[in-house]
Amino acid sequence: MSNPYIKINNLHKSFGNLDVLKGISTTIDKGEVIAIIGPSGSGKSTFLRCLNLLETPTSGQVWIGSDELTAKGTDIMKVRQNVGMVFQHFHLFPHKTVLENVTYAPITVKGVEKNVAEKQAINLLKSVGLSDKANQYPNRLSGGQKQRVAIARALAMAPDVMLFDEPTSALDPEMVKEVLDVMKSLAHTGMTMAIVTHEMGFAKEVADRVLFLDGGVLVEDVPPEEFFLNPSSQRARDFLDKVL
């Protein structure tokens, strides 16, 4: 029997009378890399945000490990510590150095000692190729460098899951690869990842599974080969005709 790490059961999210997620059910195994693809406004960000409670699901259940996020009284801060998130627009602290950006949450949220947090941060910055930028401020960095800092910052909390919401969409084309390469290495470490992306080549190469959302409905939930070569739905075929 398989024992999925993340379970999503009949997830609904509405804003007022706008139904954005209309009953999403799927599972994600430990170490799986999921690409979430779909037209603008289809609910991709909302879906991702329900996985770390940046949005509160309207109904349905989400489990990560043995924790039910949708249970009453769930410790939202604890969930967010375990589920790192990387945004399209980086969201770095502008008045903190790169090193301070990476050490801030471990020190203030987890109570890690400063010198220990700094050592870990230096190692993480090394792993994203930025150890020489530790003392810079974000406004001195390129977009690709900012996004790699944001990834290091999320990893500093030692999460079990990483969520990425269009991490390369705000980057100049020449910087996309350096960020995708960092994500690819992270995938190879066995990190469980859910990535909203328009990078079809990356999804094809790195994802274990593609979730195709359209109008708040999970239309396809299949391996990338199947999604890109032989999608079963007309909606996916129409979408791929436009983007490929």
Give the number of residues in contact with ligand ADP, rule: CB under 6 A: 11
As a whole number of angstroms, the distance between CA 195 and CA 213 comes to 13
Q: Which does 46 bind (CB under 5 to 8 A by kind): Mg ion, ligand ADP, none?
A: ligand ADP
User: Which range touches ligand ADP (CB under 6 A), out of 38-46, 129-137, 187-195, 233-241?
Assistant: 38-46
Decide: residue 242, CB within 10 A, 0-12 exposed, 13-18 middle, 19+ buried. Answer: exposed
Q: What are the C-alpha distances in Å from 78 to residues 52, 83, 102, 104, 155?
A: 10, 9, 18, 16, 15
Pairing of strands 192-196, 6-15: unpaired
Spatial contact of 214 and 237, defined as CB atoms under 8 Å apart:
no
Find the shortest distance in angstroms from Cβ 135 to ligand ADP: 35
The footprint of Mg ion on residues 61-100 (CB under 5 A) is none
Asked if 212 contacts 236 with a C-beta cutoff of 8 angstroms, the reply is yes
Cβ at position 21, least distance to Mg ion in Å = 13
Task: Tell me: does residue 94 bind ligand ADP (CB under 6 A).
Answer: no
Residue with Cβ nearer ligand ADP (44 or 146) = 44
Q: Give rounded-to-5 percent helix, strand, coil for the chain.
A: 40, 25, 35
Exactly one of 42, 81, 101, 192 binds ligand ADP (CB under 6 A); that residue is: 42
Q: How far is the CB of 215 from Mg ion (least distance, A)?
A: 14
What stretch of H or E contains 33? strand 33-37
The CB-of-42 to Mg ion minimum distance in angstroms stands at 9
Q: Does 218 bind ligand ADP (CB under 6 A)?
A: no
Which residues make up the interface to ligand ADP (CB under 6 A)?
15, 18, 20, 38, 40-46
